[in-house]
A and B are shown apart, each in its own frame.
Chain A
Amino acid sequence: MTWDITLGTIFGLALIPMMISYVFKENIVYQVAERTALALEITYSLSAGYILLTSYWNDIMRAGPTQYIFLIWLPIGAMILFQTVRGRKMFYYSRLPMALFTGVTVGVLLRGIIYTGVLQTVVGAIKPIDPYNILYLVTFIFGIAYFMYAFKYRGIFKASNYIGLIVIMLYMGQLFGTTALKRVSSISDTMQWILTALKSFGIPIPG
């Protein structure tokens, strides 16, 4: 093992039991681990930002003049730092990069939601017409119907509201079940990692 992996493994082996101690009661050991993890997360985010920035810069420089147009985003992005400057006018400029970013992202996102999310996923899942796909369509319609607040449900439509509620509850139930299963999987992964790490330090662990 290289020194950085060894150090990371030692940190992991120390922090995991400290964090797990919270399940019994909140205690000082947990608080130390929590704050250490938070500090590491901030450091990690800063270093990740630095790596991304250098990667972005190097990509543009290596590709040559054809990519220089993308350098325009550096000063525009830096405008967000105006949030730290007092004064209404400067604060206004700090919102420009955010507005640009949000606008472009929403535009791209909407295209994906309409084309892939609605047309491909929903329409694609209904075809071919077979019992399974009919069930999918029925649950889809009732699920959507539950969230239609534009008019008041009366008569037969009241039943659709109720069926929609059942459909959503079924979904919530499976969501809870699979989420619980994922947590169990995480515990198993973590324990497996601890045992492998202990083995790598020469501690005899069976299995």
Chain B
Amino acid sequence: MSKNISKTLDRIQSIWHGWIYIILFVLVIIPLVNPIGLGIGIGRLEKLAFDYVKTIPAGSKVLYYTNMASWTVGNTAPTIALVEELYRQNLKIIFVPHGSEAPNMIQRVLAVVPSATGKVYGTDWLILSILPDLETNQAQFANDIPGTSPSDSLQKKPVSTFPIMTGIKTARDVALGVNQEEEGSQYIRQVAGPYGLKTISIHGVDKIPTHAAWLESGLIVGAIDGVPAAAAYEVMLGMPREASKQMDVMSFTVLYALILLAIGNAAVIMRRYANPKLSTITTVDTKKGGE
């Protein structure tokens, strides 16, 4: 019996690997074109971020560090959701672009944020000049914002000519910081920590454990990590969009990955059970042309 199961599992393992990817693509595309609407859970980090924004007085200013670029064009859902909430709260956003593509990407995102319609450049939002994503720049910028970034990215005017910059000198002069950088630690080390700036972090799902530690130590007030958090944010805003649609994909593909993991592990264990002397690690004889 166990030998039969072992043989079946071995046979499954010898199937052409391309099928794994073909099935994966099918599982990704089906929920996208035909949303099923599986449940979306609201996590602690995004709930805290959402609730914190609600406590900020209208008219306050937000320093939004971002490195959005063409490679993040498919992953704008967390940004859209957060900017929508910031504008619903009537906050003013000063974007700090890290990278030459960021100013363009910020405009593309604002174009699809419903509450950004009618917002005035220079009064409700501003894109500062590009700041290279370096440790030293972060430190200097937080200490002297108009001195380190003396002009804006779109109109190339001195920042002092824009009403939104009135009273802004250091990172202490804003109500909230948003950390959407490549890695995020630089901002925490040089801005959030030394200046005590309340911060919301936007990164991928792999950053959740790091964010949990930052949250416990008070370095951030919440986070929006990847598609699941963005979907939850959309639900809280009552604005289901791309992320909510992608959650079906996530559910399907993660389930698929778990099934593959279970089959692979079961095959190894059964093989070992059938032949205890056999090593779990397959050795390859390169002299015989093994790959």
Contact = CB atoms under 8 A, between A and B. Distances in A.
Interface string A32-48: 00000000000000011
Contact of A109 (B188, B189, B249, B250): B189
Q: Which 4 A-B pairs have the closest CB atoms?
A: A112-B189, A116-B193, A124-B217, A189-B74
B216 A124 contact: yes
Interface string B221-244: 000001100000000000000100
Interface string A179-207: 11110111111111101000000000111
Interface in B249-266: 249-250, 253-254, 257
Given A184-B253, A188-B32, A191-B32, 11 more contacts: A48-B100, A52-B130, A59-B149, A105-B135, A108-B135, A112-B194, A115-B193, A133-B216, A136-B216, A188-B227, A191-B28
Contacts, number: 157
A188 B253 contact: yes
A180 B35 CA distance: 23
A189 to B, nearest CB: 3
Interface in B181-195: 186, 188-190, 192-194
B250 A188 contact: yes
A24 B139 CA distance: 46
Contacts of A124: 216-219
A117 interface: yes
A111 B193 CA distance: 11
B281 interface: no
Interface of B: 18, 21, 24-25, 28-29, 32-35, 70, 73-75, 99-101, 129-130, 132, 134-136, 139, 147, 149-151, 153, 156, 158, 186, 188-190, 192-194, 204-206, 208-209, 213-214, 216-219, 226-227, 242, 245-246, 249-250, 253-254, 257
A108 B33 CA distance: 49
Contacts of A207: 32-35, 245
B246 A192 contact: yes
A150 interface: no
Given A55-B129, A108-B190, A122-B217, A182 B150 contact: no
Contacts of A47: 100
A178 B100 contact: no
A125 B213 contact: yes
Nearest to A101: B136
B67 to A, nearest CB: 12
B141 to A, nearest CB: 12
A125 B151 CA distance: 38
A121 interface: yes
A185 B194 contact: no
B242 A192 contact: yes
A27 interface: no
A63 interface: yes
A117 B192 CA distance: 11
Contacts of A188: 28, 32, 227, 246, 249-250, 253
A109 B135 CA distance: 7
Given A108-B136, A112-B190, A190-B74, A59 B151 contact: yes
A178 B208 contact: yes
A193 B130 contact: no
B136 to A, nearest CB: 5
B259 to A, nearest CB: 13
A62 B150 contact: yes
B209 A174 contact: yes
A119 to B, nearest CB: 9
A6 interface: no
Contacts of A192: 32, 74, 242, 245-246
Contact of B18 (A23, A185, A205): A23
Contacts of A31: none
Nearest to B73: A193
Contacts of B34: 206-207
Contacts of A193: 73-74
A67 interface: yes
19 contacts: A20-B21, A48-B100, A55-B153, A59-B150, A109-B189, A112-B135, A112-B189, A116-B188, A120-B219, A124-B219, A182-B206, A184-B253, A185-B226, A186-B74, A186-B75, A187-B28, A187-B253, A188-B249, A207-B35
Given A51-B100, A191-B28, A192-B242, A181 B226 contact: yes
Contacts of B186: 112
Most chain B C-beta atoms within 10 Å of own C-beta, residue among A48, A108, A174, A193: A108
